[in-house]
Amino acid sequence: MPTFVLADGQPMVLHGLKVVLESRADWTVVGGATDGAAALALVDSLQPEVFIIDILMPDLDGAAVVQQAKQLAPQTHPIIFSVLGSDASVRAVLNHGAMAYVLKHADADEMLHAVSEVLEGRRYLSYALLERIIDYYLQQPERSQVNGE
């Protein structure tokens, strides 16, 4: 039964995430925090399978929280849930150990899908971020093929 710790500066967001996640009978939210320090304390004491965090926390930035969470609970899978989707933000948290990045305008089904992917050991990016990556890829000049690739 997967367990979750949630962290977001907005209590209403925490409540909404809890409702969405616990719509799956086998998923349990074991803790929630509105600041980074409290979130890290929960991750340390509860050792959840999944840690969902906003990148904009009142006292610590999301990348620092992800990095520290991975040190406290290496088996925990961090997922970023944020309004920010800049290349720098996404790159920073992925480099620090986040397994997924879900934009806050995503619907409940996308969040459930992202969590399912992460629980299977796969990375996940919101559809909007994937579209941007595809657009970037398509704008790159073609390179000559080597060895038939």
Which CATH number covers residue 13? 3.40.50.2300
Residue 144 predicted with pLDDT over 60? no
Q: How many other C-beta atoms are found inside a 10 Å radius of the C-beta of residue 9?
A: 15
pLDDT in tens, 57-98: 888 888 889 999 999 999 999 999 999 888 888 999 999 999
Q: Does 144 fall in a domain?
A: no
CB 90 within 8 A of CB 99: no
Q: Is residue 63 part of a domain?
A: yes
Q: What is the pLDDT of residues 18-68, one digit of tens each?
A: 999 999 999 999 999 999 999 999 999 999 999 999 998 888 888 889 999
Per-residue burial over 47-61, b = 16 or more CB atoms within 10 Å of its CB, e = otherwise: bbbbbbbbbebeebb
Q: Could you tell me the strand order of the sheet in which 50-53 lies?
A: 28-33, 3-7, 50-53, 77-82, 100-103, 124-125
Q: How many CA atoms lie within 13 A of 17 on its CB side?
A: 33
**Cα(13)–Cα(127) distance, integer angstroms:** 20
* Residue 135 confidence class, pLDDT cut points 50, 70, 90: confident
Range of the domain at 128: 3-139
Q: How many distinct structural domains can be found in the chain? A: 1
The answer to whether residue 97 is domain-embedded is yes
Q: Does the residue 146 lie in any domain?
A: no
Query: Does residue 149 carry a pLDDT above 70?
Result: no
- Please indicate, yes or no, if residue 149 is contained in any of the structural domains: no
Domain membership of residue 73 (yes or no) is yes
CB burial of 136-149 (b: ≥16 within 10 Å; e: otherwise) equals: eeeeeeeeeeeeee
Q: Note whether residue 26 is domain-resident.
A: yes
Domain presence at residue 118: yes
Q: Sign of torsion, CA 22 11 106 127?
A: negative
